[in-house]
Amino acid sequence: MATGTDPAGDASTSSNDGATLEKVMKSNALKVILLGDAAAGKSKLIERFLLEGYVPHRLSTYAVTIYNHVWKKADGDEVPVVFWDTAGQEKFNKLHPSYYYQAHACILVFDVTRKLTYKNLDRWYKELQEYCEGIPTFVVANKIDIDYKVTSKSFNFATKRNLPFFFVSASDGTNVVKVFNQVLEAALERKENPPDDYYSQVMDLLQEGELSGKETVQV
């Protein structure tokens, strides 16, 4: 179930430009980020998975769009999720570190009709590892509906790095639910069994300092 309701229970309006991070984030939520070149179909994949009823929250300060979701597991338990989309900042070739902060899983997207989006996966993956080393990462080849023959081709990027790989279509829904469910399972596992992450520890200290109004240590 996707929702545009903030954690306090207030209904969202149709326009969420300028929404604050505190209003749309849930402290106990799974955080799933999407990476890839502009127009690779990242937003469309999220929207296809969520179907109707979602209201994206646009955070202009961070140049991201966040989608709230409640994931219902097979055992009936409900888990809050926030999907982070780059909202165009990927055009600048590097994302703000806050995009990666406390992420539990990543979907790395390329467009099968544009070779450059595939070549750029290496750059995105290196940046991801810089901030979230070892994070569960799923590689998806999007827009296969344009030419299904592409599914007979081999894409070695994922194989070389031992990453899960899927052919998907945000347009007709091929494999979208399957991918997202596996991503959420992996994200939950990482959240429940977090690795030692120096970067996240530093960010936590900085955040605590900002909230308390105290000076933070230099790192």
Alpha-carbon Rg for the chain, nearest whole angstrom, is: 17
| Domains of the chain with bracketed CATH | 2-212 (3.40.50.300)
Q: What is the pLDDT of residues 134-184, one digit of tens each?
A: 999 999 999 999 999 999 999 999 999 999 999 999 999 999 999 999 999
Q: Full-prediction pTM beyond 0.85?
A: no
Query: Would you place residue 200 in the very low, low, confident or very high pLDDT band (cuts 50, 70, 90)?
Result: low
Say whether pLDDT at 190 is over 70: yes
Amino acid at site 136: P
Q: What is the pLDDT of residues 20-70, one digit of tens each?
A: 555 555 568 999 999 999 999 999 999 999 986 677 887 765 678 999 999
pLDDT for 92: 60
Annotate 110-152 with DSSP letters as a single string. Answer: EETT-HHHHHTHHHHHHHHHHHSTT--EEEEEE-GGG-GGGGG
Would you state the structure tokens that stand for residue 127, as one six-digit string? Answer: 């940046």
